[in-house]
Amino acid sequence: MSKKKLLFEVQDKETIADCLDRMKEMGYTPVRRMEKPVFEEQKEGKKTEYVPIRQAIVFEGKKIEE
User: C-alpha dihedral over 20, 59, 54, 13, to 10 degrees?
Assistant: -20
Q: Is the pTM of this model over 0.85?
A: no
Q: Are 58 and 11 in contact (CB under 8 A)?
A: no
CB atoms within 10 A of CB 10: 20
pLDDT at 66: 65
pLDDT at 9: 95
pLDDT at 44: 87
- First and final C-alpha spacing in the chain: 14
Mean pLDDT, each 10-residue run in order, the chain (66 residues): 84 94 95 94 90 94 86
Delimit the domains of the chain by residue range: 5-63
